[in-house]
Structure 1
Amino acid sequence: MATLDGSNIKKLIVACDAGMGSSVMLASTLKKQLKKSGVTVEHSPVAEIPADADVVVTQNNLAERARGVVPNIPVVPFQLFMGDPNVAKVVKAIQDGSTVEV
């Protein structure tokens, strides 16, 4: 586990595999939630995660692949595209400028 400092997050990546609409919807939702925080939210295939990301959120089954692509960037796995507690913790930490274990 790593500690994520929400006040240091400037770029969040939602990584997916097949380009399905669900991950694009999650990215759109996170953009709205984090707009006031000044965080850039982008959608990316797992194999093309940008190296300047501060944190990556991705489905549980893609987390290890994402860690292989960006080994020095925290990867937060989730199960649910909407309402997942891991994603909610990251959003709250960014909004509050607090820390969270991921």
Structure 2
Amino acid sequence: MPETSVERTLGILLAKVEGIEKSIADGDKHRAVVHRRVDEVVESIGELSVEVAAMKGDVKDSKVITDEVKQWKQRGIGALFVSGIAGTALGGVAVGFLAYWWEAIMRVVRAA
């Protein structure tokens, strides 16, 4: 009977060792998947870094153009303001001219 007990104990120990080996193998597979995914993430981040660097140049160029357009807009608004003042002044002069010379103009029109 003692041999049976020893064999049984050895069987239990062997099963436990096999379970541990299976667990280690499963862990290795899982770690391999994790490493593959980490590598993919690192590669994606590298690609993003390159794209961001390229975009920085584009944004810098766009800022130069945007600043230029803002200057044009400011100049245009200034020109419209000056034109408005000049138009108002000319309109006032024309009205003053008509008011001052109205009677003379009407005499010439009636005589014709």
Higher RCO (CA 8 Å, separation ≥ 6 residues)? 1
Higher helix share: 2
Same fold (TM over 0.5): no
Bigger radius of gyration among the two: 2
TM-score (norm 1): 0.20
Higher strand share: 1
